[in-house]
Structure 1
Amino acid sequence: MSAPHAVVFDTDGVLLDSARLHAAAWKAAFDSCLDAWAASGNGRQPPFDADREYRQWVDGKPRLDGASSFLNSRGIDLPTGSPDNAPGDDTVWAVAARKEAAFVRTLRSGAVHAFADVAPALARLRAHGVCCAAVSASRHARPLLGSASLLGCFDAVVDGTDAADLGLAGKPDPALFLEAAVRLGTDPARCAVVEDALAGVEAGRRGNFGLVVGLDRTKNPDTARALRERGADLVGAELLTVADLVCGARP
């Protein structure tokens, strides 16, 4: 790629140690739904796998899309319902609402922290004049970045609230990343995307970004392979490595 002008970072799992909290909240919601589905005479299914199935069907997507993707993968056909559905098991929106309620309860119990390599990586990029943006499908992204003292480190933030206000499609559609590139004033071809989610890597590739980096903090060969299959140009485990690559490409 040409020397990058900017880097767009996913938030959950890349900047903040929050992906595991999202996965646990989804597990609570999906396992309840699976129990209700079995109690209705549809047969018992294995519980939700908060690692493999979270990454495959849910990670990086808006709540409704994630709920629908997993339920469809299990052959569970629920009515869509509406956004005002209370947390429950009878509609897709109700399952998504149960996840949201579980996640909010988790947030109340303690702060979400940034990974140790985030601050030094961002400082290195800024020292070399590289603009940075944070992107998330979650409406919680801005307050969480603020609580981790990271919000002021970014030239732009695009989150789930922006997506709703602007009608931006969720990943693997590249709309969130493309909006970040617009706010940074750079062409996607001169911009790098850093993602840990399969849907996010696919979004970066669909958006024709100059460099798509898969971040694999699990250091699992299967995860790294899946990220490459979805379109990652390279896979790494440390943000400082990404920062060094981007800064080294600049004149």
Structure 2
Amino acid sequence: MINGFDAHLFDLDGVITPTVILHRRAWRETFDELFTQLGLAPYREEEYFSYLDGLPRFAGVATLCAARGIELPDGASGDVGLSSIAGVGNLKNQRFAELLERDGIEAYPGSLQLMHQLTVAHKPMAIVSSSRNADAVLRAAGILARFDAIVDGERAAQEGLPGKPAPDTFVRGAELLGLAPANIVVYEDAESGVAAARAGGFGLVVGVDRGAGRAALERAGAHHVVADLGELVG
């Protein structure tokens, strides 16, 4: 299924590394604090998949706050705290960085197997992630050198690229590899990421179901859904 394509673009969190676990913990701690301060019902885990998964950090905060009827100013980019969208997002990122430093991270075994197969086949690979922590996560997992290009939240901000579900970051990844989207496979675990890849005209979009649900990924446009990338090895 994937052998006829020339290159491969991977989302990071939930596809290559289980950093989604650390992200979910950091989001839960941050929004529990915010919701408690405002006298709202506790944060629900399903809110991660509905409002946060796959979105740039500040966009996720704004989306969930809107869903909860919370009005916060955008704030300054350096804010840290509960009084602005930027502050909440940066507080979450601070907590994520602390968890990553304390606990470390390892890539999913199935993802390592697929990456090894693609390396042996001389297939270019790139990371396309909304995270501004992609470099740190890849270094912590010891796999930074495996990728030919990285389009992360930092690069997107520098180049003015809109985040997922817009296709721009995936299209930029294809440009960096020097290949047309139609010749590339995208691997995504978030509905917004799957929608972005389909909007970008990529030849094959593989949904990785780490909790979003097969049906949701298929509705977003995934051509094929797996529970783990190890299913594609062979």
TM-score normalised to structure 2 length: 0.94
Q: Is the 8 A contact 1:56 1:198 kept in 2?
A: no
RMSD: 1.6
Deviation at 1:4, TM superposition (A): 1.0
Equivalent position of 2:25 in the other structure? 24
Opposite residue 22 of structure 2, the aligned amino acid is: L
Equivalent position of 2:196 in the other structure? 203
Q: 2:44 aligns with which of 37, 49, 55?
A: 49
Opposite residue 77 of structure 2, the aligned amino acid is: P
Q: 2:227 aligns with which of 232, 237, 243?
A: 237
Q: Is the 8 A contact 2:9 2:185 kept in 1?
A: yes
Deviation at 1:243, TM superposition (A): 4.6
Opposite residue 54 of structure 1, the aligned amino acid is: Y
User: Identity across aligned pairs (percent)?
Assistant: 37
Equivalent position of 1:227 in the other structure? 217
Q: Is the 8 A contact 1:125 1:243 kept in 2?
A: no
Opposite residue 230 of structure 2, the aligned amino acid is: L
- The CA distance in 1 between the partners of 2:68 and 2:179, in whole Å, is 41
Q: 1:120 aligns with which of 107, 113, 117?
A: 113
Opposite residue 164 of structure 1, the aligned amino acid is: A
Equivalent position of 2:85 in the other structure? 92
CA radius of gyration, larger in: 1
Unaligned runs of 5+ in 2: none
- The CA distance in 2 between the partners of 1:242 and 1:11, in whole Å, is 17
Deviation at 1:158, TM superposition (A): 1.3
| 1:150 to 2:128 alignment | no
| 1:59 to 2:49 alignment | no
Equivalent position of 1:78 in the other structure? 72
| 1:137 to 2:130 alignment | yes
Partner SS, residue 213 of structure 2: helix
Number of matched pairs: 233
